[in-house]
Amino acid sequence: MTADAPELNLKQAAATLGVHYMTAYRYVRQGRLAATRVGTEWRVSEAALDAFTRRGEERGGGGEEGPGPHGPGPHGPGPHGPGPRGTDWAGRLLPCLLAGDEPSAWRVMEAALASGHPLAYAYVQMLTPALTAIGSRWEAGELTVADQHVATAVASRLAARLGALVHRPGRSRGTVVFGAPSGERHSLPITVAADLVRLANFTVLELGADVPPEAFAVASQRAVRLVAVGVGVSSPDRFPAVQRTVDAIRSARPGVPIVIGGQAAITPAGAELRGVTAWAVDGPSAVALIERFAGFRA
């Protein structure tokens, strides 16, 4: 098989795999078989079929027969059971996002969690890489802006469903305020970072995107046992708004640590922002910084 061979429709792909058409369709819906939707039809490249067969999925590596998570069943682990060792969960999730298929995307999430991965994995190793791959394909001209918006909308709904599963055990380690400044409309990175911090046993006041400086200031003033304030930014064009936000926070809570996070956080221009305590390139690094600040408070 060659990567540039003609794409197959789903019936042809099913015949190649030696499975029923509906089985192949379920593989696509679960994100296990990479496919592209063209109009009302799914298209599967021979490269995708090669990758699928190399994993041995159609012969039971998380596949068709065998005991499920609640005992034997005709469909094996299905969408809720453990996948094969080394499963590319982000790869499974990606086609569901592009298809705007929230139910299938959530089944992929549930399968990853059922296989033993923690909630943080769903954010860091599934949602984030899938969206990064979509962004890269858009920059390469392989996807449209509409594709990006569809995928982001589904990802936002998934994040909301994941957020409902986040429970903070015991006493809070303190409060963190999170938001994006005026003009910054990317709210999903804020949600992901906020939930990761919640998983680390902090209370989070999540302001969302396009937040005016005075709202940051008021939230910071009102926060009980404030540990830090996080400001997300995706583009250096937003740095003037970030600076106004930092200044407002400094006026309200002069000594509080302020973390700038996001794609633009570690650019040279970002380092020139006044009053910033630290910079975080992603959610896990933001959590590490906030835990360090909480240790200083203690």
Q: From residue 207, how far is each of 24, 30, 107 by CA, in Å?
A: 42, 33, 29
pTM of the complete model: 0.73
Radius of gyration over alpha carbons of the chain, in Å? 22
Assign 58 a pLDDT band (cuts: 50, 70, 90).
very low
pLDDT score of 67 more than 60: no
Summary mean pLDDT of the chain: 85
Enumerate residues 6+ apart whose C-beta is below 8 A from 102: 96, 154, 157, 158
240's enclosing H/E stretch is helix 239-252
Q: Note the pLDDT tens digit of each residue in 187-236.
A: 999 999 999 999 999 999 999 999 999 999 999 999 999 999 999 999 99
Where do the structural domains in the chain lie, given as residue ranges?
1-87, 90-165, 175-297
Q: What's the rounded Cα separation, in Å, for the pair 188 and 200?
A: 19
Q: What's the rounded Cα separation, in Å, for the pair 225 and 213?
A: 21
Mean pLDDT of 32-61: 74
Domains 90-165 and 175-297 share a fold: no
| 8 Å CB contact between 69 and 27 | no
Query: Over pLDDT 90: what percentage of the chain?
Result: 61
Which residues share a beta bridge with 6? none
Q: What's the rounded Cα separation, in Å, for the pair 298 and 295?
A: 5
Was domain 175-297 assigned CATH 3.90.420.10? no
**Segment among 13-22, 81-90, 100-109, 148-157 with least mean pLDDT:** 81-90
Q: Note the pLDDT tens digit of each residue in 260-288.
A: 998 888 888 888 999 999 999 889 999 99
**Segment among 48-52, 85-89, 149-153, 209-213 with least mean pLDDT:** 85-89
Alpha helices in 32-166 (DSSP H): 46-54, 89-98, 102-114, 119-121, 128-139, 145-163
Strands 203-206 and 175-179: parallel
Q: What is the CATH number of domain 90-165?
A: 1.10.1240.10
Looking at residue 35, its pLDDT comes to 83
First CA to last CA distance, the chain: 60
